[in-house]
Structure 1
């Protein structure tokens, strides 16, 4: 394999890994605070893509306004989802919350089929995202370079919020012990809602970028990326934001490189994520950057 082809595969792997990282962060943020796996997160990802699609095609808004509206509305939807599906069960057994998450996922998927229809739709792509760039003899679609840049900006902003703001300090306190945080005067409900909103906004960004890179929309489009990004969060150490990013890049690069090095295995591309999950659970169950903890009883 020539260097130029390998470089092209590497760019595609980084681009895909960036998308996985954006979605995996939503899983790991919610788990870090509530010890809850939000199985509806992949469907929030799908919803953000559809909102951007209809804003551009039905309301004829410019792409930047459509993307901004999609991110804001998806953020609001995430907050509403937490308030309706998870907050009433916060003091219930965890199995009840998990069942609620699965039910919310099925509800969103089926409502999407009813509202949006089951036929695939083509996501409109502006010329700025479809330019072919020749870099060192390698032809790269501009969106493959834009996605990692957008991801880096989003991650830097999130890192600043978590580590250098009062809201971030409150999030870290709630993740340690939300009962103690409540006694210290922290509005736990607001912090949890903020966490869901932030994770949903990142999912919307990831969904929009996904639509630009893979421009076919179906109501179940968030199912497999959602599972893979959950795996990415587990691989990196669920509850750890940096671990989720690392897990996303490992998954994205691994998928692309398997196909690049052995095209005969392209049909087993999705299986790579599940094989990786099994290996990580056997070798390091807490994930690459996770910490071993003892469950409180």
Structure 2
């Protein structure tokens, strides 16, 4: 039962990485940009939900709100965070990345790091450097096998949310008009534009969707580990990028698989090997996988035409 408990915790943690990795892989797959500020958008989403829920509880709901009213207010706050982060993603793309579409990858990388530090320092000025105690969106736990196995409702919600998001994104990119436009831009932006597709709007929509997913990941991550500070999204963002590369960046199922596997590896490594070495083990596994399969587990090798 102990191993099963660690496994479920790993899947829950990996689901958070997978949701973040889906944002990474969408932006890279369509705009061919590595948005390293994505992790800090997670932090922004966490702060929006934190202050919105505190305002709702202190000013709107009263001292003893019903479970239904509390749940609805939390849902509204999460939707608000998705909208705010979606708009923030569009603004970041328009101001920081759009002028660099024809620039080299190094210029985009340096800009992304600059945007990341800007968001962290702006959050420190606006919200303070002291950690905030984040109230989980759901509480309680499920007890199985006579109390031998306990699964938190946060873990269950995270796993279900990850699966739903992955399926929804797969259907969206495969069947909707905007999804097909995104796939066309991913293949060849010039040809897509000649076919009447608005490339600028498509890329902006991609950033909006990825940033909205970052807001959901921020809420779930802060519910899983209820501490919120300006650097909250830094390490999870790096791990989620690792998950996207691990599964095959540009592939939605690959991001999902990579996130789940990395979460399981981290949880098992912390439980049976060393908490301090868990991150080193994660990146060591990534190196080994990329040596064997450079395109990732579900990635496809595309030869460069010269």
- Interval of TM-score (by shorter of Structure 1 and Structure 2): over 0.9
Partners of 1:272 and 1:189 in 2: how far apart? Answer: 40
* Other-structure match for 1:8: 5
* Other-structure match for 1:197: 208
Return the match for 1:106 from 89, 109, 117.
Answer: 117
* Other-structure match for 2:159: 148
1:35 aligns with 2:32: yes
2:276 partner SS: helix
1:270 aligns with 2:267: no
1:259 aligns with 2:273: no
Partners of 1:45 and 1:17 in 2: how far apart? Answer: 16
Partners of 2:42 and 2:95 in 1: how far apart? Answer: 18
- Structure 2: give runs of 5+ residues left out of the alignment: 61-72
TM-score (norm 1): 0.94
1:182-221 → structure 2 map (5 Å cutoff): 182-221=193-232
1:53 partner SS: helix
Shift of 1:59: 4.6
Return the match for 1:282 from 267, 291, 302.
Answer: 291
2:295 partner SS: coil
Shift of 1:291: 1.4
Partners of 2:276 and 2:35 in 1: how far apart? Answer: 28
1:232 aligns with 2:229: no
Partners of 1:34 and 1:132 in 2: how far apart? Answer: 41
TM-score (norm 2): 0.91
- Structure 1: give runs of 5+ residues left out of the alignment: none
Shift of 1:273: 2.1
Return the match for 1:116 from 127, 143, 163.
Answer: 127
Return the match for 2:139 from 130, 143, 156.
Answer: 130
Instruction: State the superposition RMSD in angstroms.
Output: 1.3
Between 270-279 and 139-148, report the one with greater CA deviation. 270-279
Shift of 1:231: 0.6
Partners of 1:231 and 1:286 in 2: how far apart? Answer: 13
On the 8 A contact 2:166/2:252 being kept in 1, the answer is no
* Other-structure match for 2:301: 292
1:65-80 → structure 2 map (5 Å cutoff): 65-80=76-91
* Other-structure match for 1:24: 21
Partners of 2:209 and 2:84 in 1: how far apart? Answer: 12
Partners of 2:286 and 2:77 in 1: how far apart? Answer: 36
Partners of 1:34 and 1:154 in 2: how far apart? Answer: 21
1:48-87 → structure 2 map (5 Å cutoff): 48-60=45-57, 62-87=73-98
Partners of 1:125 and 1:257 in 2: how far apart? Answer: 24
Alignment length (residue pairs): 290
